[in-house]
Every structure is written in C-alpha cells, then in structure tokens.
C-alpha cells in the first residue's frame, strides 16, 4: 500500500494520460469501470501561462473523477513552476510532470523525454515544481533515451530525493516510441534502489499482462494506455482477475451500448455536439470490439455529425444483434 496525499492505494490500476483521448468524458468512463487514478492529456506549460483556451479546457474535471491528476509538460523551469501553480489552483489530487514524451518537437526541445538527456536539468525543474506547490507531484518517464543509455535507476533515486511522491515508468526508451516490447527487467532494480512508489506502464493490454507486470516487477501499481482505448472494461477485468484468478465475461450488449450512448451524451454536453461526434469516432472500435459485422457499422458511424443520427445507427445495430435474423441464425 502507498499514499499520494490523503489517498491510499493497494495495487492500483491507473488510466494513462493520453493526448486527444483522456478528456473528461473518457476519464469518467474509465473511472466508473475501475481506474484508480485518472490523468488529463498532457497540458503545455507555456499554453497554460498564455491562458490558451485549449490548455485551460484540458484541466476541467468533475469531483467524480477523483483521484485526478493534471499532467504538465515543458522544458523551461520557470514556466513549469508557473504551470504547476496554475494547475494547483483548480485543486487536482496531484500534478504529474511529463518526462517521457518522445514526440520530436517536444523531446528535441528539452521537454518530455528530452529531459532524460539532461538529468541535472530534470532535477532542477522537478525540484523547483515540488517546492512551489503543496499538491503532491509525481513524474512519468521512460527507461532512458535509448538502449545504451538507460538512466532509470539514477533518475528514480534523484526524484525520490527531491520529494516526488510516485514515479511511473513507461518501460520503453525514447527511441522505441510506442513500439516494441516493454522491458520490465529494470523495475526490480529500481524497486531495490528506492522506496518511492513505482507504477509500471507499457504493453498492459489484458488481465494476464497486468498480472505479469505485477509478478515480474514487484511494482506498486500499473498504468494502462492503449489497452483502455481498445477495451475500456479492462480496469474491472484486471481487478477481477487479480482478485480471483478468473476472467470476467465480456460486457453484455446492453451494457456496451448503454455505456457508449452515455459517453457520447456526456461528450456532447462537455464539448458541443459536432466536436463530440467527430472526436468520439476514435472510440467506436474499442466499444464495439469483436461484434459481428462491426466494420460495416463503424464505416456508417463515420458519416453523421449529430447525436440523434449516431444514436439511431447504434440502436439499430444493437437490436439486430439482440434479435438475430432468423435466416442467418440457423
């Protein structure tokens, strides 16, 4: 068990921060399905300071989401301090510093994973943020820049020293991006070196992967990213499997469609109709995964721009699945 601020966790399953994915409506879906901590998409520190509408909107959350973290990124110490203070002003449960983003424009400018190439700068930046705010500060990073430059043990020691409250390790290098197998072998060494809670991230897409991550690494928690897009039910499936050793049956058709429509409705309320309908298209494959004739329906869903039209397609599809065509059913 470990704590972040007033919240205690025993083997928590976290929803990863994901740009263009973990907005408030999707976070709520995952939280209700068992995610123990949810994070915003990463928020640009400079954007926050400029009061950009996009950056401010990313910080909007509702009480039901707690424990809720705001993730910020940037490569300039003063800006990160200001951004952390601005984040703190909306009262999240934690502020997370992104030290792992691999995207060229970010990493090559000394932010995100770029900080792994300048550990003294990472130390100054994180330490200044920790000192500037009362809210707990956590960090998400990678093993290192590339396979020849794995820094995670020293990084974890340094972060513990400066007062970070938990560390998420995406068990790939910056050079790997999001590809290739995560390497969990470093985590037991990190665990042996620090008392800081360690969250393992990378490649956790099934309850079996989750079990393996806990068993092989001795980590304190795990974080799921793409696995939550392809299957938002993964949080409760993992919990059930870890508790019982048995797999939960997949969600019923009624549950799937009710969840989808509820998510869509909340998205429309949060972002406005057209934006919500367009942005939610990315979630259809996950919500409808493995259902019969799904690719045809997904194509149909790419056309409408109103809630009523989407709802009609989904309900028609649901009803066709619940009452199979008597000719094809035999």
Ligand X SMILES: Cc1cc2nc3c(=O)[nH]c(=O)nc-3n(C[C@H](O)[C@H](O)[C@H](O)COP(=O)(O)O)c2cc1C
List active site positions: 101
By beta-carbon proximity to ligand X, the closer residue of 167 and 225 is 225
Q: In degrees rounded to 5, what are phi and psi of residue 3?
A: -125, 150
- Taking CB under 6 A as the rule, does residue 213 contact ligand X? no
Q: How far apart are CA 204 and CA 190, in angstroms?
A: 19
* Choice from 23, 41, 88, 237 touching ligand X (CB under 6 A): 41
| HSE toward the beta carbon, residue 110, CA cutoff 13 A | 10
CB of 163 to ligand X, least distance (A): 20
Choose the binding region for ligand X from 24-32, 198-206, 257-265, 270-278 (rule: CB under 6 A): 198-206
Give the Cα separation of 86 and 152 in Å (integer): 29
Find the length of the chain: 330
Distance CA 129, CA 133 (A): 6
Q: How far apart are the C-alpha atoms of 185 and 246, rounded to whole Å?
A: 26
Q: How many Cα atoms are found within 13 Å in the side-chain-facing hemisphere of 31? A: 21
Cβ of 120: how many Cβ atoms within 10 Å? 9
Nearest by Cα to 227 from 253, 251, 201: 201
Identified binder of ligand X from the candidate list 4, 18, 30, 55, rule CB under 6 A: 18
**18 or 219: whose CB is closer to ligand X?**
18
List 13, 14, 21, 49, residue binding ligand X (CB under 6 A)? 21
Closest separation in Å from C-beta 182 to ligand X: 7
Q: Which of 201, 217, 267, 280 binds ligand X (CB under 6 A)?
A: 201
Give the one residue of 17, 25, 92, 136 binding ligand X; rule: CB under 6 A: 17
71 binds ligand X, rule: CB under 6 A: yes
Q: Which residues pair with 37 in a beta bridge?
A: 14
Smallest distance from ligand X to CB 296, Å = 25
* x/- letters, 134..163, toward ligand X (CB under 6 A): ------x-----------------------
Tell me the residue ranges of DSSP E strands in 62-102.
Answer: 68-73, 94-99
**Which positions from 81 to 120 touch ligand X by CB under 6 A, shown as an x/- string?**
-----------------x-xx-------------------
Q: How many Å apart are CA 271 and CA 56, to the nearest integer?
A: 13
CB atoms inside a 10 Å sphere around CB 62? 14
Output 44 or 307, the one with its CB closest to ligand X. 44
Residues near ligand X (CB under 6 A) are: 16-21, 41-42, 71, 98, 100-101, 140, 170, 178, 201-204, 224-227
């Amino acid at each position: 068990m470990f704590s972040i601020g007033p919240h205690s966790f025993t083997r928590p399953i976290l929803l990863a921060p994901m740009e263009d994915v973990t907005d408030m409506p999707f976070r709520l879906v995952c939280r209700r399905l068992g995610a123990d901590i949810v994070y915003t998409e990463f928020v640009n520190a400079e954007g926050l300071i400029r009061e950009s509408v996009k950056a401010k909107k990313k910080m909007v959350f509702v009480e039901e989401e707690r424990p809720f973290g705001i993730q910020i990124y940037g490569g300039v110490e003063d800006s990160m301090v200001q951004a952390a203070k601005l984040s703190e002003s909306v009262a999240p449960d934690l502020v997370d510093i992104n030290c792992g983003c691999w995207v060229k424009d970010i990493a090559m400018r000394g932010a995100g994973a770029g900080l792994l190439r300048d550990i003294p700068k990472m130390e100054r930046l994180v330490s200044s943020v920790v000192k500037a705010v009362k809210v707990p500060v956590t960090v998400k990073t990678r093993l290192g820049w590339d396979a020849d430059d794995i820094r995670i043990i020293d990084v974890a020691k340094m972060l513990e020293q400066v007062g970070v409250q938990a560390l998420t390790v995406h068990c790939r290098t910056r050079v790997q991006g999001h590809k290739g197998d995560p390497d969990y072998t470093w985590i037991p060494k990190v665990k042996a070196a620090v008392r800081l809670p360690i969250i393992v991230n990378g490649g956790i897409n099934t309850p079996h992967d989750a079990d393996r991550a806990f068993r092989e690494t001795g980590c304190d928690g795990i974080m799921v990213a793409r696995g939550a897009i392809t299957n938002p039910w993964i949080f409760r499936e993992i919990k059930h499997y870890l508790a019982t050793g048995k797999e939960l049956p997949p969600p019923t058709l009624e549950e799937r469609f009710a969840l989808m429509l509820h998510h869509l409705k909340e998205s429309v309320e949060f972002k406005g109709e057209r934006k919500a309908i367009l942005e939610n298209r990315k979630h259809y494959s996950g919500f409808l995964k493995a259902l019969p004739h799904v690719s045809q329906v997904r194509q149909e869903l790419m056309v409408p721009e109103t809630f009523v039209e989407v709802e009609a397609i989904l309900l028609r599809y649901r009803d066709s699945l619940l009452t199979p065509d008597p000719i094809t059913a035999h």
